[in-house]
């Protein structure tokens, strides 16, 4: 019986995750082009939301996206803010290693 509940919960998580991602994609293809590039972060808040939901599931991912959106305002400096454990975090790490200065300890022999 536990297996049935687990399967049902997993199906609901999958469905909720895909519904949330579809809502963000709808925003990206309809409203976002009209508003223009406003996000102060990389990846953009909508891309962050999709990745957070994919990596951490619909509940935690939505909470992470909400916190990120609350940080994105005119007084914010913005910058690189990757999803922990996600593709964007790996890209930031790779970018940092490729752009290390010659005097940095990581690039010395």
Q: Which of 1-10, 24-33, 67-76, 94-103 has the lowest mean pLDDT?
A: 94-103
> Quick check: helix, strand or coil at residue 70?
helix
The mean of the pLDDT values for the chain is 87
pLDDT in tens, 36-89: 888 899 999 999 999 999 999 999 999 999 999 999 988 889 999 999 998 888
CB 48 within 8 A of CB 41: yes
pTM of the model: 0.81
CA 86 to chain centre: 7
């Amino acid at each position: 019986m536990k297996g049935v509940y687990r399967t049902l919960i997993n199906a609901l998580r999958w469905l909720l995750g895909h519904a949330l991602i579809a809502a963000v994609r709808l925003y990206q293809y309809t409203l976002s082009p009209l508003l223009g590039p406003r996000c102060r972060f990389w990846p953009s808040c909508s891309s962050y939301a999709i990745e957070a939901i994919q990596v951490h599931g619909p509940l935690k991912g939505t909470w992470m996206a909400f916190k990120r959106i609350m940080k994105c305002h005119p007084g914010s400096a913005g910058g690189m803010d990757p999803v922990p454990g996600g593709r964007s975090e790996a890209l930031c790490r790779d970018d940092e290693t490729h752009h290390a200065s010659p005097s940095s300890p990581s690039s010395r022999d």
